[in-house]
A and B are shown apart, each in its own frame.
Chain A
């Protein structure tokens, strides 16, 4: 009997499509369909209002900044966790996941307590003229916190399976330590760093619970897009809420697609060399 080289390909493809459709596409379509009934002109006017633009700018700006910081800090921490033996490493390793397990409201309240003018860190920073709580900086801080584990967890396994003979070979051929890292190790890590970046970014764009406690929610200054959506829901304006959500989804999707394309390019480049 002739068989496909990969067993059960059609079954696998069928179930995959079914899972993605039911689990992801259908809920997203409901959002888009709810939004479809909105008055287009009113929607455009609303999305282009100064307040909505300010919220989109803050959400995307703070999310991108947070994801960049997460990539730098997360890769560094993954590196330490993989390459160094030290007492308490399993403990530190487990702590990395805590931001994922913490209810977001708890995160927000904890950060607000820590960074407000009377908080432990806030008192110190405010004495040096740096306001964190209730500023865009606070929004970025909360988003950095919730996105951090994604980068560590995507980079860590790649780093762990990286053959050390490549680095040894580079060293034996006369490359310095920094040269080895910059020209051998990092390029191999870039795809996983980009994947972590995309996950951290996606999480940040939709984040609500942890942000609203530290942002202060001031219109035009510290209002995030998810808060605009919740505001619509409070008014029982389901269509308006879905419309803003669709706008957020489409922009997020474009951004994530760009990161994925970039990641693919790096992966292909790597396999070619």
Chain B
């Protein structure tokens, strides 16, 4: 019995040890910073955090540790609203950072003006991923309709990436009809009629297309499409449409949290350094389009020239969200029962 009590005590001690948080955040060696980001940026920020930690140490002599959190962009924003202690957020769309500002007042509404280029240090766009040899002969948006072509894209109601896809398709509909909204709607309605599966997130849609073999064409973030090429050599091809949308994943310091942690300067420097040539080069290597022209030109990844519209042509994210993706909006109308 005594032995039993003893081993039970040991077990508790062990459990406590395991449950204890790994080294308190404000350790004496240096500061730490929490970057709350969305799903596909995992590889990019793993590389960038290394780069930044070295640069900061060389510059200030202070060691710093960057912690990362990844998830769906909307879910991450909700976590911050509900109290996740993010010092900086790097999300898929401005709408999600707007929500943090609006619902929890953790940063001012004009956050997008605090860094260059609408606070987006790198951009992406929407391209097509098709199967080897492009059997359905897809070269542009109009080829997505007819010929029994099945299109894979996630549900824009639950996926930030899928919202960019939807708007890219809609903007093609507008261009091809001289800005006739009715025809643009008809185009996206016809397109979504050929979508057999609506995954809840972009990564899920990519898996459905690449691993399950469903569909003839995947509407994808350019960086995801390039990653799929790398991971499945010889199975897929990227088709670049003539027009698409400029996807701008923005970054912001979460002021209230950073002030509380005393990390304002560090957070500011962390995001500002994303615009440096070294960081821009990393972005480019990970399939994101860098903002710096010099890096863009010398980048190893070949980015095709596309005519890109911006979210501003839809009046910004707040307007676009309300019109297209809110309850009863344009997207819901496509799926109205007849």
Assess the B197–A218 pair: CB atoms within 8 A: yes
Q: How far is the CB of A27 from chain B (nearest CB, A)?
A: 14
Q: Answer yes or no: A227 CB below 8 A from chain B CBs.
A: yes
| A235 and B325 contact, CB distance less than 8 A | yes
> Which of A116, A119, A231 has a CB less than 8 Å from the CB of B158?
A231
CB atoms of A235 and B326 under 8 A apart:
yes
Chain A, residues 208-222, CB within 8 Å of chain B (1/0): the string is 000011001111100
Report Cα–Cα, A165/B175, bound state, in Å: 82
Task: Tell whether, in the assembled complex, residue B74 and residue A233 are in contact, meaning their CB atoms are under 8 Å apart.
Answer: yes
Shortest Cβ distance from A235 into B: residue: B326
User: What CA separation (Å) do A113 and B213 show in the bound complex?
Assistant: 10
Check: B132 CB closer than 8 A to any chain A CB.
no
Contacts A217-B197, A218-B197; A50 near B336 (Cβ below 8 A)? yes
Complex interface: chain A residues within 8 A of B332 (CB)? 51
Known contacts A213-B204, A218-B198, A231-B157: A113-B327 contact under CB 8 Å? no
- Band of interface residues on A: 20 to 34
**Contact of A235 with B200 in the complex, beta carbons under 8 Å:** no
B200 contacts A230, CB within 8 Å? yes
Whole-angstrom distance between the alpha carbons of A106 and B213 in the complex? 19
Binary interface encoding of chain B residues 321-338 relative to chain A, with 1 for a CB under 8 A from any of its CBs, else 0? 100011100001001110
Query: Given B157, B214, B337, which contacts A235 in the complex, CB threshold below 8 Å?
Result: B157
**B321–chain A nearest beta-carbon distance, Å:** 8
A-contact bits for B179-216, CB 8 A (1 contact / 0 none): 00000000000000000111110001001100111100
Given A109-B207, A116-B213, does the pair A219, B158 have CB atoms closer than 8 Å? no
The reply to whether B198 and A217 contact each other, CB–CB distance below 8 Å, is yes
The interface bits of chain A over 51-65 (1 if a CB of B lies within 8 angstroms of the residue's CB, else 0) are 100100000000000
Check A51–B335 contact: CB distance below 8 A. Answer: yes
A147 in the interface (beta carbon within 8 A): no
Considering the chains assembled together, what is the distance between the CA atoms of A236 and B158 in angstroms?
Answer: 11
- Complex Cα distance, B95 from A234, in Å, reads 11
Chain B: residues with CB nearer than 8 A to chain A?
74-75, 78, 81, 99, 103, 155, 157-158, 196-200, 204, 207-208, 211-214, 321, 325-327, 332, 335-337
- Could you tell me which A residues sit within 8 Å of B by CB distance? 46, 50-51, 54, 109, 112-113, 116-119, 133-134, 212-213, 216-220, 227, 230-237, 240
Q: A134-B196, A212-B199, A216-B197 are in contact. List 16 more A-B contacts (CB 8 A).
A: A112-B212, A116-B213, A116-B214, A212-B204, A213-B199, A217-B199, A217-B200, A219-B198, A227-B158, A227-B200, A230-B158, A230-B200, A231-B158, A234-B74, A234-B75, A236-B103
- 10 A-B pairs (CB sep. < 8 Å): A112-B212, A118-B213, A134-B196, A216-B198, A230-B200, A231-B157, A234-B75, A235-B157, A235-B326, A236-B103
